[in-house]
Amino acid sequence: MSEKRRDKKGRLLRTGESQRSDDGRYIFKYKDANGKHRYLYSNRLEKTDKVPPGGIRKPALRELEAELQAKINAGIKAFGGDLTVYELVEKYVSMKIGVRESTRQGYKTVLRILAKEPFGKLRIDKVKISDAKVWLIKLQQEDGRGYSSIHTIRGVLRPAFQMAVEDDLLAKNPFSFELHTVVVNNSTTRDAITRKQEKAFLEFVKNDKHFSKYYEGFFILFNTGLRISEFCGLTMSDIDFNKKCIHVTGQLVRYSNMITTFEPPKTSAGVRDVPMSPEVMEAFRNIMDNRKYLKVEPIIDGKAGFLYLDKNDQPMVAMHWQHYFNHVVKKYNGICKLQLPNITAHVCRHTFCSKMAKSGMNPKTLQYIMGHSDISVTMNTYTHFTGEDAQEEFQKLFGGEEESVQRQKRVW
């Protein structure tokens, strides 16, 4: 009868357990579901053992064995099926069929990042919550990525790891934490500009020899609340002068691979008829009157007759307009004493929404015009109100000081 193995302290070792003679480390050898030999290592056998001098406190071998057995009992595959983080995300993305091109491009971006990162090569069963947090912090503090970019990355990793949990590859999701508790939200708020700033911007564009040809486009963005991709996607047939409205049916988007597509709006609420003021109608007429005649119109996904064309006679996209906004503001600030803040097409949208809110438009009506699926998004526009706006509203309700005093006397 063979003698049972013992460690250096004389304790009996279980089947699969052993202790190295050189450094005293404990080893547990077993076979996984595929018959492949696997090993667990620790510098302690029992939880109560002291950490050897110079050693690092890690779970004892029998703690690791118990954890392994718990996973086996729960049907969880040890070692996460040998998947790396990159491979897990790749598998998750491959199952996302029927998504928009913008979403697919976002998936590709996340995969490119993981392909370059050591984090992407980690086995998924080795990723702890602290590892996930440290990596996201690294993306912000060392790589300089913005909060919105990290939010997008984590927005892919979180459901990918949740898929691994549901497939019994992991016991828990290491990306289940709230992002704002880990990285700093350094996103710049795109607030509305004042009416004085809007007027200064538009007057400057109107009188500038180079940028005046885009005046009507800027004016429409400030006075309709259209998203820039929706504006770029408008064709001449979408402008209904009889009903005095703009038929918004989709958006024109150009991706990093230079492919331009006409896609549905961001949400179903994006399909709408936006009313036009007389000034907006005049702006659209001017655009059409001055538009270059083409024998062959560019057609994108069945749409033709786009309002603005670039130098190659292709529909202008958001990128073009952002360049114009940047150049106008830079030129204006280099000439005028009153400096303008950074202005984007989205600032125009915020500005329009704020103007309508301040004018007393019904929030539900404004929600429809803006194409918001959730009214809370529309209501957040009221955060652009100032103390002067509050004072003006108060005066509308209660009138002047003397009238207010007389009213209170009558009440008492």
The pLDDT tens digits along the chain (412 residues) read 557 789 999 999 999 999 998 889 999 998 876 677 888 899 999 999 999 888 888 899 999 888 888 777 765 555 556 789 999 999 999 998 888 777 888 899 999 999 999 999 999 988 999 999 999 999 999 999 988 899 999 999 999 999 988 887 888 899 999 998 999 887 655 678 999 999 999 999 999 999 999 999 999 999 999 999 999 999 999 999 999 999 999 999 988 777 899 998 878 899 999 999 999 999 999 999 999 888 899 999 999 999 999 999 999 999 999 999 999 999 999 999 889 999 999 999 999 999 998 888 999 999 999 998 888 877 776 545 556 666 665 566 555 555 544 544 444 4
Q: Where in the chain is the domain with CATH 1.10.150.130?
A: 82-181
- CATH 1.10.443.10 intervals, the chain: 195-387
- Based on the residue annotation, tell me whether 349 is a catalytic residue of this protein: yes
Question: 266 catalytic, yes or no?
Answer: yes
**Catalytic, out of 44, 71, 227, 272:** 227
- Is 92 in contact with 163 (CB distance < 8 Å)? yes
Which among 108, 123, 244, 266 is annotated as catalytic?
A: 266
Looking at the domain that runs over 82-181, which CATH code has it been given? 1.10.150.130
Q: Does domain 17-73 have CATH number 3.30.160.60?
A: yes
In angstroms, the CA 408 to CA 406 distance is 5
User: Which is the catalytic residue, given 6, 29, 128, 382?
Assistant: 382
Q: Is 350 an annotated catalytic residue?
A: no
Note the pTM of the prediction, 2 decimals.
0.64
Domain with CATH 3.30.160.60 in the chain: 17-73
Check if 247 is active-site: no
- 372 is a catalytic site residue: yes
Active-site residue flag, 92: no
In CATH terms, 195-387 corresponds, of 3.65.10.10, 3.40.50.1370, 1.10.3720.10, 1.10.443.10, to 1.10.443.10
